[in-house]
Chains A and B, each alone.
Chain A
Amino acid sequence: MIELEGLTKRYGTKTAVDHLSFQVRPGVVTGFLGPNGAGKSTTMRMMLDLDNPTSGTVRIDGKHYRELHEPLKHIGALLDAKAMHGGRSAYNNLLCLAQSNRIPRSRVDEVLGLVGLTAVAGKKSKGFSLGMGQRLGIASALLGDPEILMFDEPVNGLDPEGIHWIRNLMKALAAEGRTIFVSSHLMSEMALTADHLIVIGQGKLLADTSMADFIQQNSRSYVRLRSPQQERLRDVLHANGFTVVEAGGGVLEVDGATTEKLGELAAENGLVLHELSAQRASLEEAFMQMTAGAVEYHAHGTDVHGGAAAPGPQWGATTGTTTGTTSEGA
């Protein structure tokens, strides 16, 4: 259990973390989400007592980090995959950490096996690929077999196989009753791994909710229709009490309806449909909408949000500044 209370960090006049209070509970994966520069890493560094908070406190199982005698046995952290001495072998990098916490040598071999680095244990870590570096960082986090694990953007720069491995690892660790706290700036990644969600923007808490609730509240589901008889279709839908939004390109969107219901309605009225599909707005959109006011570094003049996360052309057509208007049905 990690508890944050009114955690604040100021650098001069800039407030990086602003009165953050939340709890990270055991047995679940808690996602820590925010755009770049939201204060995620600063918060995590303060949780590990690397940075001093301007005000507020962090408690790990009721204690301050500095009061933990063998912290690696309570909390394991992956902050930065390259936070190791590159001239030292993987084995020695882990060994010096183990020794400082009186963790037996045999555990070093154990975690190396666990992350699949046994074959390169004697190799210098500066020759490691990003994925191998990430695995070494995770090995160091698991070294003390801790109850709490903290990962800062663990999937950054990994290949699909590595991403898959980390996801499964986090789920397996949580299933053992551990507390998992993982940060990311990718909502889609969190949706796959996290049970609970903490969203921050510009250092402020924006949401502290279960993943299921977040999906419930923020994902708009609707039915997408295309028809050569668009005018008549629209009249029929109106007559039956549906709210219709014209999305351009001959596409109509209907909120709060099922495909079955609309298909039957079209058939009863003898209407030709070219498309009838259930759609769900992406969580990425919901996340961007939530943090729209809190994004620190905007790109100007280009469509920063379109494309990748967009389920249909209506999303791609929106620009960064008008994102908020696209989900009016939510």
Chain B
Amino acid sequence: MTAPAHPQHAPAPHAYVSPIPVRRAHLGDALASEWTKIRSVRSTMWTLGVMILLMVVIGLGVAAIAASSEVSMDEETALGFGFFGMLPASICVITLGVLTIASEYGTGMIRTTLTACPSRARVLTAKAIVFFLLVFTVTTVVATLVALAQVALVDAAEPSADEWLRATVGTGAYLAALGLLSLAIGTIIRHSAGAITVMIGLLLLPLVAALFMFSVALKSVQEWLFTYAIPSQMIALYSAQPPFGEDGPAGWEPLLIMGGTAAVVLAGAYALLNSRDV
């Protein structure tokens, strides 16, 4: 069969009219489309699966070791152990965030996507929303379960409501915001391996560099890096006081910093996506 399956009109000399009803497409349709995309590739299952595994295994492992230790936790709560699962989880989130857009460039799918939806802002917005909600939901649920287990296993101080909120919703939001930053970097760099490398470097290098700043002349730089490196801020998320030195972010502040950074870079990604050739 070579002719489309719909009622055959007499061959018109002009303008073919399709029998398919035209309904105005909007952001909701783009969201549905992006949801189909993200759930139908195996890399999503892999990165999220590995992330869940790392958070659970490391979280429970650390809690088990702490529970069997003789040393008292004093004022500390067990929620802080969440950090050890959060750091490796962030690498999975970075990978997924970059792949969400860069894989489209790698496969050429982006041309098909933008032909179907010429509003590039709508495409990026839909990707960002779907990705954010997916990562936020999964990480919040996993972080909550791990935190409950940690608090139950380890004999430590009872966490306050705010501490609970930061260790669960805060962790989820922080990782999802880090993912958005990766998505933005992926949009700007348009190359999976390149963008993942940049993000991993951003995650780990400041801390590694700070470790080797022995010179006194670099003291202030070292302190700044120790305070504002991404892993340090993740630790700060679990702590009411700045964990390194007197000032620096603590409590909800790391989330604001990451959210703000992601927003700025995402704005740059919008501008570039709109103006560049595909």
Binding site for B on A (CB under 8 A): 26-27, 45, 48-52, 65-66, 68-73, 77, 79-80, 82-89, 92, 95-97, 99-104, 107, 110, 113-114, 140, 142, 144-147, 165, 168-169, 172-173, 175-179
Contact = CB atoms under 8 A, between A and B. Distances in A.
A97 B29 contact: no
A101 B114 CA distance: 11
B16 A102 contact: no
A49 B117 CA distance: 11
B178 to A, nearest CB: 24
Interface in B24-55: 24-25, 29-30, 32-34, 36-37, 40-43
Contacts of A48: 111, 115
Given A83-B112, A107-B20, A146-B18, A51 B107 contact: no
6 contacts: A52-B275, A82-B107, A97-B33, A99-B29, A176-B4, A177-B12
B103 interface: yes
Nearest to B103: A85
Nearest to A100: B33
Interface of B: 1-6, 8-9, 11-20, 22-25, 29-30, 32-34, 36-37, 40-43, 103-104, 107-109, 111-119, 275, 277-278
A177 B109 contact: no
Contacts of A101: 25, 29, 116-117
Contacts of A73: 18, 20, 22
B26 to A, nearest CB: 8
Given A70-B23, A85-B37, 20 more contacts: A52-B275, A52-B277, A71-B117, A84-B108, A85-B104, A85-B109, A96-B37, A96-B40, A97-B33, A97-B116, A99-B32, A100-B29, A114-B4, A145-B20, A172-B3, A176-B9, A176-B11, A177-B11, A177-B12, A177-B16
A165 B114 CA distance: 28
Nearest to A50: B278
Contacts of B16: 26, 147, 176-179
**Most B CB atoms within 10 A — which of A83, A110, A172?**
A83
Contacts of B22: 70, 73
A71 B56 CA distance: 45
Nearest to A143: B116
Given A27-B14, A96-B36, A71 B115 contact: yes
Contact of B5 (A72, A110, A168): A110
Contacts of B108: 80, 82-84
Contacts of B9: 176-177
A125 B148 CA distance: 43
Given A27-B14, A96-B40, A84 B107 contact: yes
A86 B33 CA distance: 17
B103 to A, nearest CB: 7
**Most B CB atoms within 10 A — which of A97, A110, A140?**
A97
A110 B6 CA distance: 10
B18 A144 contact: yes
A82 B2 CA distance: 22
B33 A96 contact: yes
Contacts of B4: 110, 114, 142, 145, 173, 176
Contact of A88 (B14, B15, B40, B113): B40
